[in-house]
Amino acid sequence: MADPAKNTPLTAVMTADVTLDVNGAPHTLHLDVRTTLLDALRDHLNLTGTKKGCDLGQCGACTVLVDGRPVVSCLTLAATQQGRAITTIEGLERDGKLHPVQEAFIEHDAFQCGYCTPGQIMAAVGLLNEGVPATDAAIRERMSGNLCRCGAYVNIVEAVKAAAAAQKG
């Protein structure tokens, strides 16, 4: 539909109040209903640990946990996440102590440039939350949606195995 007086298309932006439970705290945001969870986290809540990589859901840099499961936030509409528990990399530490996966990534030097690291860590936490066996093959399969341009895959697998062992012990 066009505005005949100006010969320009009319566009209506639909907005809504969206309450997101992020890292254990509710946040009510007034958003364009097309806003992705990634953009809500980064641009509206200033949680910049979650990275915008490809913006196509192919690299995994934007991985967060929704109800404990890994989700690519660049393909997830924020408005559809009301009532769900969203965890970002900033929400993993407890009382100043890093999550075991974060500790394992440091111990095993599972990052180089660090850009993919938050998404890798969140995917690994989700994998362990789901009780996936910590075999090399299972880890590689479940982490295959998270790309690392630096090639730290061997160290990432070792870090996930170490974190899995720490959870059991």
Other Cβ atoms less than 10 A from the Cβ of 114: the count is 12
Task: Say if residues 49 and 122 touch (Cβ distance below 8 Å).
Answer: no
* CA–CA gap between residue 91 and residue 105 (Å, rounded): 16
pLDDT digits (tens, 9 = 90+) for 107-116: 999 988 889 9
Classify residue 117: in a domain, yes or no.
yes
Domain range spanning residue 32?
14-91
Task: Give the domain CATH number at 43.
Answer: 3.10.20.30
Shared domain check, 84 and 23: yes
Domain boundary among 91, 114, 129: 91
* CA–CA gap between residue 70 and residue 63 (Å, rounded): 6
Classify residue 149: in a domain, yes or no.
yes
Does the reported pTM lie above 0.75? yes
Shared domain check, 140 and 80: no
Burial 128-149 (b: 16+ CB within 10 A, else e): beeebebeeeebeebbeebbbe
Domain boundary among 62, 91, 120: 91
Domain total in the chain: 2
pLDDT digits (tens, 9 = 90+) for 1-52: 555 666 666 677 899 999 999 999 999 999 999 999 999 999 999 999 999 9
Tell the residue number behind the tokens 């320009």, with chain if given. Answer: 8
